Amino acid sequence: MAPYTRYGISRAGYEYETNPLSTAEQIRQEEAFRREEYIRNSLMIGGKWVPRSEDEIRDLRFQATMSAVNKFNESLKPPLYGTNISLPTQYIRETRTDRQISGDYYAIPSTIVNGRFQSRGKGMTGEYDIIVTLDGTVKLGRGHYYLSMSAKYVQLAGTVQMYDGKVKSITNLSGHYLPSEEETKNFGKILKRYGVKVSGASLHTYKVENERTVKVGKTKID
């Protein structure tokens, strides 16, 4: 077992001290942590603990994460930090929860350099699925739910077409997230916010009608 320090199991929220723990104390704290995790992920029904559904657990984790972000944001002082930390522009919720596993789906290692996408030091050319997570990470590849790691919410989900790293067009085509027309209008602003040059690119908006994907608009991003 790892040589934890007193109150050193951060997962359980203990404060850090440097006095080493005995093996018995390590085991006690580890068991306490496991009990806390089980209770957090369970419901009391009829006098018995019943495991929560996966969706309920993910909802609770999302709520806890956003609560912590909001508290931290409020604690920052403008004279010291200039401005508060920016929260996500929008929250696009999943519409499907079927898993996408590696093999058929993949992520492409990429970076944004001078507003353009690069992979392995070269400008990217082609059409890719794209998502922007709530923490502002821009990911490219195939499979939106795979790229988001099955996230309940994202800021952006669609496809992007580019040449030599320069974005030429963007769509809201995503079976798992189905961004609305209003949400799609924010795509240009979101990508600019995270360093992607999209001025002059075309934005194509689609919606699903009677199980068919229908194009409803095309605009140019300023």
Reading the chain (222 residues) residue by residue, the pLDDT tens digits are 344 444 444 444 444 444 555 667 667 777 776 666 666 666 656 666 666 677 776 776 677 666 766 665 555 444 444 444 467 889 999 998 888 887 789 999 999 999 999 999 999 999 999 999 998 999 999 999 999 988 989 999 999 999 999 999 999 999 999 999 999 999 999 999 999 999 999 999 999 888 899 999 999 999
DSSP conformation letters of 171-203: E---TTT---HHHHTTHHHHHHHTT---TT-EE
Specify the pTM: 0.64
Nearest to 20 by CA among 39, 36, 1: 1
For residue 77, the model assigns a pLDDT of: 45
User: How deeply is 194 buried, as exposed, middle or buried, from its count of CB atoms within 10 A (0-12, 13-18, 19+)?
Assistant: middle
Domain boundaries, the chain: 10-51, 54-87, 92-220
Provide the mean pLDDT of the chain: 80
